[in-house]
């Protein structure tokens, strides 16, 4: 599903900082992998590279056997749209929009017909137990609810790979438990999940843990 080969990522803000240093690993389809490490270890950067929202300085990342380095901006956007679902720690829900409108965004980008859009939004919200909040404004939701809507949005285009960057980082233990249960249930349905976390309890829910330190595995 995901193959990283000698991936390097450098940031240059006056001084060069290597965030990801020669990382190679393979995630098989249907796996639930947790990437763990201390703050600044490079785990979120690695997740962004896998999610194709950032480009590696060198090395290759393969998604379903396709090298990201060979793709142009439009093709990368296509892969992000069709194959990858992204769950952010900060949710990035638009508070001006309703829950429905927020979840609908990837479907509109994918040109899904309106009747199917509604059907798909309802299915996704049902999967995360948020169907009753369909018309609520995103700004009125609690942190746990926002994260569940964020997961629903990530699932909208039925991706085979779900990337989660500290999904429970800003949630209490009760909501963390709910979110982790959702991830486990999605994984059981065959969705490959790569989750970045620094919480060992959350990590234990994954099939495999990859630990990062100073940009290395």
Partner 1 sequence: MKIRNYFKFAGQEIRVSLSLFIFYMIIFILLLSASVTFLDSALFLPDKIASTMQKMKTDNIIIFIEETSKLQELAKSIPMKLYECKVGGYEFDPERLGLSSNEASKESNSSIAFSGGVLLKDYQINNQVALFISGNIISGEFAPNVPNSKGALPTWISGTMADAFGIDCQDELQLIVSGKNSVPLYVQGLYTSNTAFSDYYIPEEAYSLFNVNNADSKLQITVSPLRFRDIYSLLNRLQKSDIPCLYSEQTVRSTQMMYAAFYISTIILLVALSGILLHLLNLYYNRRATYFALCSAVGMTHGDVLKILFCISEIIIIATTVFSSALSYFALYKIEAYINKLFLLQNEQTKFPFISLILNIILLQLCILFVIKKVSKTIKGNNINELLRCEG
- Measured CA to CA, the distance from residue 52 to residue 74 in angstroms comes to 12
Minimal distance, residue 104 CB to partner 1, in Å: 9
User: What sign has the CA pseudo-torsion 98, 166, 44, 74?
Assistant: negative
Separation between Cα atoms, residue 148 and residue 52, nearest integer Å: 23
CB contact set of 97 (below 8 Å; sequence gap of 6+): 137, 138
77 binds partner 1 (CB under 8 A): yes
Report the site for partner 1 in 78-137 (rule: CB under 8 A).
Answer: 78, 80-82, 86, 88-90, 92, 94, 96-97, 101, 105-106, 108-111
* Residue 92, helix vs strand vs coil: coil
Interface residues for partner 1 in 157-176 (CB under 8 A)?
Answer: 157
Residue 56: strand, helix, or coil: coil
| Cβ distance to partner 1 smaller for residue 28 or 92 | 92
The first and second tokens of residue 185, run together, are: 């249930």
Shortest CA distance to 167 belongs to which of 92, 99, 63? 92
- Per-residue interface string for the shown chain with partner 1, residues 140-159, x marking contact by CB under 8 A: -------------xx--x--
- Does position 74 interact with partner 1 (CB under 8 A)? The reply is yes
- Cβ at position 86, least distance to partner 1 in Å: 6
- The verdict on 48 binding partner 1 (CB under 8 A) reads yes
Nearer to partner 1 among residue 62 and residue 88 (C-beta)? 88
- CB of residue 207 to partner 1, shortest distance in Å: 26
Residue span binding partner 1 (CB under 8 A) among the ranges 14-22, 75-83, 177-185, 190-198:
75-83
The distance of closest approach from Cβ of residue 204 to partner 1 in the complex, given in angstroms and rounded to an integer, is 26
Give the residue with the Cβ less far from partner 1, 66 or 108: 108
DSSP symbol at 216 = B
Integer Cα distance of 116 and 137 in angstroms: 22
């Amino acid at each position: 599903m995901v193959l990283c080969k000698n991936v390097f990522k450098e940031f240059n803000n006056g001084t060069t900082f290597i965030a990801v240093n020669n990382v190679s690993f393979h995630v098989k389809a249907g796996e639930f992998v947790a990437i763990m490490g201390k703050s600044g270890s490079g785990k979120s950067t690695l997740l962004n590279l896998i999610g194709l929202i950032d480009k590696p300085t060198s090395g290759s990342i393969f998604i379903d056997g396709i090298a990201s380095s060979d793709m142009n901006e439009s093709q990368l956007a296509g892969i992000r749209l069709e194959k990858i679902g992204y769950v952010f720690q900060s949710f990035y829900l638009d508070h001006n929009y309703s829950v429905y409108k927020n979840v609908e965004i990837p479907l509109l980008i994918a040109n899904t017909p309106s009747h199917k859009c509604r059907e798909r939004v309802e299915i996704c919200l049902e999967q995360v137990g948020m169907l009753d909040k369909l018309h609520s404004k995103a700004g009125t939701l609690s942190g746990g609810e926002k994260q569940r809507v964020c997961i629903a949005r990530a699932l909208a285009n039925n991706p085979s790979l779900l990337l989660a960057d500290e999904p429970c980082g800003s949630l209490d233990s009760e909501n963390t438990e709910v979110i982790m249960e959702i991830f486990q249930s999605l994984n059981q349905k065959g969705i490959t999940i790569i989750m970045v976390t620094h919480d060992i309890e959350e990590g234990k829910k994954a099939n495999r843990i990859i630990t990062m330190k100073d940009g290395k595995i």
